[in-house]
Amino acid sequence: MLIRLLNVALSILLAYALQEGRNSQSVDIDGYEQFTNQSLFWAPYRSNCYFGIRPRYVNDHPFMFGLMWMDSTHLEAMNKLRHLVDQNDKLDKYGWEVYDPRIGGKQTILDLDNNVNLTIYYFKSRDGANWGARIRGEPIDSQKLSTTSLVLYMNQNGGRENSHLVRSEPDSYGSENIKLRGLAPEMGEYDISINDLSGLYYSKGAPLHPDLDSSKTAHMSLTVPDDQVWIARDILQTLVGESIQTITSSSNKIDPVSFPSVFTIRNMHDFPPGNFHFIQKTFDLDKPFEFDIIFNNKASKQQIKSSSEFSAMIEWGLNEINNRFDNKFHIQHPEHKKFAQETLSNLMGGIGYFYGTQLVDRTTEFDDEQFEKIELSHPEEEGPLQLFSCVPSRAFFPRGFYWDEGFHLLQVMEYDFDLAFEIMQSWFELIEEDSGWVARELILGNEARSKVPEEFRVQNPNIANPPTLLLAFSEMLSRALAEQDDHNSQGEELNTFPFSTEELERQPDLLIVRAKKIFPKLLKHYDWFTNSQRGMVEEYVDYVDEKVHPMEAFRWIGRTFTHCLPSGMDDYPRAQPPDVAELHVDTLAWVGVMTRSMRKIAAVLSLKEEEEKFAAIEKNVIENLDILHWNPDDNCYCDITIDDESEDVREFVCHQGYISLLPFALKLMTPDSPKLKYLVDLMSDSDKLFTGFGLASLSKQDEYFETGEVYWRGPVWININYLCLDALVYYFQENECTDMETLGKARSLYSSLRENIISNMYRVWAHDGFVYENYNHRTGNGTGVRHFTGWSALVVNIIGRLPEQLY
């Protein structure tokens, strides 16, 4: 889909018209969508780069930008060249301190090995058409001899017929300030200027070649295929490596003081100019440096005309984002506020736009009775597809995850409701028209595949994941419906955009238009999920006291003896040995969430027949949770399997932990259920799940506790803890039907659990500077992937949105 930048005059007129009439009539749908496209057009959408910019929904001729850096005073400089985010770089810190994808933000990078503290400011003009980046650097250790050699690269994709990117002034070597001009069908004409503000170029030692002078800005233009722009680091290493070989072959010894010049890029092969540009600046860290990169679209009337104007944009943007955060999250503790804002900023700073093909195996057949690892050995490229998505971790998981994304959106929607819907809609658009399937991981193109082990690159339409997107959608619909009669319940949003970022929540007409477009695909998706994961109940029917609803029983297809990857809780204990007739309580619970969401959408669209159908299914799901999966002996929900040697035949597979809690956590129990007390007891029991850092994933008394990978067999995961806290609010904040003993225990549990999670995550962040994938259940220390600001960012909701205690 091609998106042209809109004429600013139209935006001004549209904004004026809206402000005049927003209280008397519904929002202009076309105008709202134009605003959304404009305000989200540019951003650092290359999630896997430390700093990489591209436009959203421009697929044929996107402009691509990236940043690399190194300390070129050492022979091993190229080995420490930073580009794609990598845990092995072991940076002391990297990430956004403040960020809003509609405005911009500030990112800090502490690279001890390269002895540089980088600060990157990125902000956009109000019309969304133009942007600037200010790169500032200073030494971490001022006594250490070092440089920061920064390499910017940019490419105007699409070849030279319909697009180009060329240097504006004569291509004279060594000009400190560089200007380029570009053209692309989707963006029109644009200019780029790179201007120094301060700093000293490295000038020690004599250049070994006229084109190898680190005391000047180096520029090189060449042609790079569009699908290889992302390997700019490899290209740079190859070009510089060849240059070094030529130098060393003609010189016996190179004075170390000249190393920075040796690592300067040059066009030794006389490549003709192309759309790809390297621009290298090597600063002596005896003094801090600062320079700007400014992009201006010629059709915009809000161009960034100077660095002083950009300075004003930075000041305005930082204040604006801070005010918006304070307006959304009311956090009194200043250090907790800093922690929460940085964590949210890194979640939103990881939002990426992905475009490319995916690998799908539609040939391999699944044998219901085969539980060995399934090899997807018949991949075919399909697409290209496009996705606008958060990522769990820029370093380790820079791609879209279906199971993670719903949790991401539970957080994003609290800051920018409409942004959350925009991301959700992108996922929904990928639901296949004929089958209703969407991949559990969206790994689009070679750039995304480069971060995925080969065994996990191929997707299969038989394998599902928890439909958390429908969980988020259900929450959004509940909020929107509740807001219809009380638009001011969350406080007035700052009126600095022509539209608020809560239009879908405040304007039911707009929500209905969007929901109508989505609903047919969601019907397909619902049918695919329930049909593909439906289990068999015939063996159990004669051995339960109540009537089973045979169509509402499910299991995860694709589990093995050791793992159930489709469930999302990979190594959580399941029935041993596996059986084709086993039924999984969490699969049924997630179907309940899907069904509830479909019922709410049908209600919004006034589809009475569909609403009644899904209401009946939802009722059946809730009843089956109790009929099939409640174990009165262990007083919790359990998977079930077949035991041919038992009179009962049905065997409960009880491993008390997150799966036991999901019907509660997903709010599928009735508020007056007598079973609530047992789950409160389970969560409160320090001999089982309760720890000083959150709820452990598996009971300490379980035989599988701390065995195998110890992934979902002990550690504290914030996504499930958040659901449990939110469910405690739902069931016990204003519940007068529960017995007083359970009510008191639930409120005590809530207060201590909330406090334990906040204090521990803050402690780890204050010490390490990062949020983690999960937390050790014994020490509270971060474990798993570092800088995991995916669903762990839900701590921001825990601090700033959930009440401090239940009343």
The catalytic residue positions are: 570, 773
CB 261 within 8 A of CB 212: yes
- The C-alpha atoms of residue 558 and residue 578 are separated, in whole angstroms, by 11
- The C-alpha atoms of residue 50 and residue 94 are separated, in whole angstroms, by 8
CB 658 within 8 A of CB 717: yes
- The C-alpha atoms of residue 150 and residue 277 are separated, in whole angstroms, by 13
Closest CA to 349 of 138, 94, 84: 94
Cis peptide before 379 (omega within 30 of 0): no
DSSP letter (8 states) at residue 82: B
CB 535 within 8 A of CB 583: yes
Tokens of 524: 């397909």
How do 636-637 and 630-631 pair as beta strands?
A: antiparallel
Please, how many CA atoms are within 13 Å of residue 749, restricted to the half-sphere of its CB?
Answer: 28
Closest CA to 421 of 524, 350, 506, 545: 506
Non-local (6+) Cβ contacts of 110 within 8 A are 91, 92, 93, 94, 117, 118, 140
- The C-alpha atoms of residue 214 and residue 260 are separated, in whole angstroms, by 6
SS3 at position 90: coil
Helices (H), 440-535: 445-449, 468-483, 503-506, 508-532
Residues in the chain, overall count: 807
Closest CA to 399 of 430, 440, 362: 440
E strand or H helix that includes residue 768: helix 740-768
99 - beta bridge partners? 105
122 - beta bridge partners? 105, 133
- The C-alpha atoms of residue 398 and residue 390 are separated, in whole angstroms, by 9
Closest CA to 719 of 568, 563, 526: 568
Closest CA to 451 of 83, 45, 48: 48
175 - beta bridge partners? none
Please, how many CA atoms are within 13 Å of residue 337, restricted to the half-sphere of its CB?
Answer: 13
Burial call 747-768: b when 16+ CB within 10 Å, e when fewer: bebbeebbebbbebbbebbeee
Closest CA to 511 of 32, 15, 23, 102: 32
Please, how many CA atoms are within 13 Å of residue 785, restricted to the half-sphere of its CB?
Answer: 18
- The C-alpha atoms of residue 631 and residue 568 are separated, in whole angstroms, by 23
How do 458-459 and 352-360 pair as beta strands?
A: parallel
CB neighbours (10 Å) of residue 471? Answer: 22
What amino acid occupies position 33? Answer: E
Tokens of 750: 């809530």
- Please report, for residues 28, 208, 303, 615, the alpha-carbon distance to residue 509 in angstroms, rounded to integers and kept in the order given: 10, 68, 35, 23
CB burial of residue 172 (10 Å; 0-12, 13-18, 19+): exposed
E strand or H helix that includes residue 585: helix 585-604
How do 178-184 and 400-401 pair as beta strands?
A: unpaired
- Please report, for residues 694, 788, 791, the alpha-carbon distance to residue 723 in angstroms, rounded to integers and kept in the order given: 12, 18, 11
